[in-house]
Amino acid sequence: MEKLRAIISVSDKRGIVDLARAIAESGGEIYSTGGTARALVAAGLSVIEIADFTGFPEILDGRVKTLHPRIFGGILGRPDREEDRQAMEAHVMLPFQIVCVNLYPFRETISRPDVALEEAVENIDIGGLSLIRAAAKNHEHVAVLTSPDQYPAAIDELKQTGKISLDMRRRLMVDAFRHTAAYDAVIASFFARQWDASQTPGLPQEMTINWTLAQTLRHGENSHQLGGVYSEAGQCGLTLVSAKQLNGKQLSYNNFLDMDAALAIVRLQQQPACSVIKHNNPCGAAIGSTLPVACQKAFAGDPVSAFGSVVAFNREVDAATAQWLAETAGLFVEVIVAPGFEEAALELLKTKPKWKANVRLMSVGNLLRPSSRWEIRSIAGGALIQESDQRPDDRLAWKTVTEATVPADLMDELAFGWDIVRFVKSNAITLSRDLSLVGVGAGQMSRVDSVRIAIEKAGERARGAVLASDAFFPFADSIPLAAAAGVAGIIQPGGSVKDAEVIAAANEFQIPMVFTGRRQFKH
């Protein structure tokens, strides 16, 4: 039986001494480099320096350590082939059965907001990637370990049989190529952002996913489905994925969808804002002079639907807001997400409401816009990819198309309605008044049905409200309904072949109408 030999070169040294000791106790030799070799020697293990074995020193500030034919020949050689054995003997190569490598911490390095490009470049691993790929290619004879999480199972097999089984080597091979693919994807993504390569016109020919499992969720969309949330490489500071959970039970897939939708609404507003989300649609949203005012206005939008909702704020939650939430009779929320919580607010929400034990309190930090240019949605056999709709609206491009002009005090209300309707599932209609959502018609197959539902939800509050539509009116039939409800203004993209009829109907009822020129579908 061939003598067991292992190459060990790791940046993450967790558990490495235990693995190396198991190899040594199985009669194996350990070949290593730099800091790894020093750590193993300090633990009392015998180590052969790779530079001594190859006769070639580490050079270029450590950029070249293991890139040598005696190393790669020993990894890639197939001992069951006579020609390989002869070549290895001729070139004084020894076969290796274990390669344990984890890579320079590129992902962790670029996650720091102050990282310099030079430091990022120096944390691109070359030799480690090459070792991993070589060992994975020759998995029939070589085991490749890339994570401390893999060591315990390998140690068990070494203790039982003195080697690592073919079954495990095959599983490790798959993990290795996943690992190197993700590592390269993170590098490409980071430098694309630095040099604006991601802004190249058109769709990329190849799209690589570089996400890492951040947490396992309570369940998926339904309780019988698995669910997890993954983090995108290179994100600095807190994001929704890395938000701190300060209270409550484990989050679910739907919780994250609703938090994302809730934050998207309040992120747009400069004044204190609150949004109330149910099943990925807003049932309440408002801005106010203070956070408690915005909160109360938002919940007044549809108090019945707000039961069991997800709530977002664009300011740190203060004690006054928390007290209102905690003391309002009949109110129950699943999640509250905000940039942060004052200590007094946190104490109130953790102790006072009846639902204190279950409510998830999520501190998300800054409310910066998502950095990804692309939105990805899986479909059978692949994915749909589109540009993220993050461009701000140009209000100077809006046009009043009716005989009735928009009163100055109504323009901010129209803008607020337009901000909200983009986050409602199509066909989407919203009614807002006093910078507060008062009626929503969402996800209907007919736009006129969405108008009817929004008016019904608003009731008397529709009088004096503005109506926003995420896409053009295909017919003029919605305008009389809006007029009968007392709607004071309409904002929509325009672009229908029936625009002239729609405008004529608005003129008949003397309702000012604004065309934005841009559709806001959300499917």
Q: Which residues are catalytic?
A: 137, 279
Q: Answer yes or no: are the C-beta atoms of 466 and 487 closer than 8 Å.
A: yes
Stretch (H or E) spanning 479? helix 478-485
Strand partners, 144: 99
SS3 of residue 288 by DSSP = coil
Strand partners, 216: 228
> Residue 196: CB partners within 8 Å, gap ≥ 6?
none
Residue with tokens 């495990």: 168
Distances (CA, A) of 162 to 22, 96, 226, 344, 347: 9, 14, 37, 59, 56
> Residue 346: CB partners within 8 Å, gap ≥ 6?
246, 247, 322, 361
Residue with tokens 């997890």: 228
445 by Cβ neighbours in 10 Å (0-12 / 13-18 / 19+) ranks as exposed
Stretch (H or E) spanning 319? helix 319-327
Distances (CA, A) of 159 to 8, 20, 97, 125, 254: 18, 12, 15, 31, 45
Q: Where are the beta strands (DSSP E) in 71-167?
A: 98-102, 143-145
Q: Answer yes or no: are the C-beta atoms of 299 and 331 closer than 8 Å.
A: yes
Q: How far apart are CA 44 and CA 24, in angstroms?
A: 11
Stretch (H or E) spanning 285? strand 281-287
Q: How far apart are CA 268 and CA 279, in angstroms?
A: 20
Q: Answer yes or no: are the C-beta atoms of 275 and 268 closer than 8 Å.
A: no
